[in-house]
Amino acid sequence: MIGKFVAADTISPQLTTRMIKKGISVINTYKVVCAAFNHHGDLLGIVSNTFRNDNVKPARFAGYHAEMRALHRWGTAIKSLVLMRTGRSGDILPIDCCPKCEAVLNKLEIKVFKIRV
C-alpha cells in the first residue's frame, strides 16, 4: 500500500475547502480529488477524476483517475500528492490508491497523503 493516511486537519483549511469544492463538482459516484505539490511544497494545482461511460468511447482523458491526470498535467514536477474522496454533499469519504496508480507513483517516488475520514 502506498502513502500515508493523514487526518484532514493536517492540510490547510483553504486547501480542504478547495478540494471539497472540486470533489462536489465531479459527476461520478466516486469523486476523487488530488492536489499536487512540487519539491518546494508549492501547490501545482488540484485535479479530479473524470467521468467514464463504458458504453461510449471515452473522450480524451475521460475516465482517468485523479492521480494520473495530475501526472499528465505536471509530470515529474510532482513530488507529493494529497488524495481525497468526497461525497455529494462535500463529506470526506475513505480513499486509497488503486494498484495501477500506486505502481506508477511508487516508481516515480511521489509521496502520497490520503485524507482519512
| Contacts to Zn ion by CB under 5 A | 65, 98, 101
**Nearer Cβ to Zn ion (47/101):** 101
**Nearer Cβ to Zn ion (20/34):** 34
Alpha helices in 26-65 (DSSP H): none
**Which residue has its beta carbon closest to Zn ion?**
101
DSSP code string of 60-105: TTTT--HHHHHHHHHGGG--EEEEEEE-TTS-EE-----HHHHHHH
**Nearer Cβ to Zn ion (16/50):** 50
What is the C-alpha separation between 49 and 81, in angstroms, rounded?
14
The closest of 60, 68, 61 to 107, measured between CA atoms, is 68
**Nearer Cβ to Zn ion (59/98):** 98
Distance in Å, CB of 9 to Zn ion, minimum:
25
